Structure 1
C-alpha cells in the first residue's frame, strides 16, 4: 500500500499558515481552491472551511463560487457532447436551479462544503452562483440577475464594493472569476445564454442575452498582473497560494484585456 501524499494538514496548521500569509480577521475573502493540492487534510474540505472561518473570525465573510454550468443549452456541451436528438428532451426536463439544493459542478470540494454549511447564503444565478458565510453574505449574494452572469449585477461587483481580497488556494489565475467582471466593462460581444429556472409560473426554460465571457487567456493575464501589481505569494500545506485585492485585479484586467485580446485576434 502506498503512503498518503503529504504534508499532513490540520485545522490548526492551516489556520496558522493562512494567518501568516496575511489573512485578516473581519475581511471579506473570495476563495478559489484545490483541496488535493494541500496534501492530506485531516477532515477534508470541512477542515479547510473551518480554518478559513477561524482566521476571518465572526466579523469576516467567506465567499466561494458555487457554479452549476451543466444547467445550460446542450447544443454547446463539449466535455462530453450529447447527441443532437437528445437536445429537446434535455431542455424540457433539465431540473431548474434551486439555491438550496442544486449542487456545484467543477468547483471542487471546498465550495460544495461552503454551499451546504449552516447559515450559508447563495446567489440566484442558475449557472454562476456564489455562496457566502458571514455578516456580509446577504449583501454580496442578493440581486444576482439572470442576464448578468459575472457583471455589475453579480456578487463580483458587490465584492469589489466591499474591498474584498482573493485567495487562490492551490488554484491558478485561470480560476480567477474576478477577471470576468472586467469583461463586462470593456467592449465585448453579447450572446444567447439558456438555462432552466423557477418563475412565478413554475419551471421555465429561458434564454437571455448576456456578455460573452472566456477564461482562456486568464493565465497570461494573471502572469502579467502579478509582475506589475502587489500579489502575496506563499504556501499553505503543499499548495502554492496567492493573495491580492479583487478591485486591483479587476482594474488591471480592464486595461489588459482590450489590447491583448485584440492582438491575439490579429495573430
Structure 2
C-alpha cells in the first residue's frame, strides 16, 4: 500500500465497491478485518464486500445447504462490520455473482432477504436480474471486457444489467500490463453507448491497495442507499476513480 486518498474536490467520501476477503474468496490473500483496516488506513470511508458467490471462485463449500452457505459466506462481513463500527469505518454487504467467467456485482439486497430466496443459486442471468430487482437491489456487470484465463469468452447482457463497472483499478495497477487499460476503455464506451451509470472499484484481493472506488459528497447510509443513488444517478451525483483518473457517473472523464 503506497498511496493515500487525498480527496476529490466536492466528493470527500471514498468507498471501495469491489473487494474480496480470503474467508469467502479463494483467490483473496487477506482476511476481511485486515482488508477493513487497510482501507481505513488508506483513507477510504468504507467498503462494500463483494466476495465470489457460489457460481464463482468461492472459498465456501458450494455444495452445502443454502442456509449454511450464506452463514459461512457472510461471516467475514460481520467480522469486518464489527471492527468498522468500532473504528468509524463503513462496511456494507454485497457479492460478486459468477457465470462461467462472466461476473456481476450485486448491491442493495438484505442478507436476511437472501435466506428466503434460494432460487438465486440456480438462477440464469435473466432470472437473477428479476430476482435481485424484486429485493430492491441492482445488478452491475463487473469488468465486462476483461481478458483472462478464467474467462473463455466476453459475453454481454445489456438487457439484464443496471450499470457497468467501467473503471476497474486492477486493470491499471502498477503490476499489470500497461495495455490492460483497454479493458476499462471498452467498458466506458459500452456504458456510454447504453446510457447507463458506471461504477468503479479496485477489485482488491489483498491489502496492497491501488485507490480505486467511488466518491460521494456525503456518507452512504447503508447498502440500500448506495443502490438507490446508483439507480437514480445524475452525472454529478458521484465520482469514479481508478486511483489516478476521475470520471463522472456516466463515464465522462474529468
**TM-score normalised to structure 2 length:** 0.31
Name which one, 1 or 2, has greater alpha-carbon Rg: 1
More helix, by proportion: 1
**TM-score normalised to structure 1 length:** 0.30
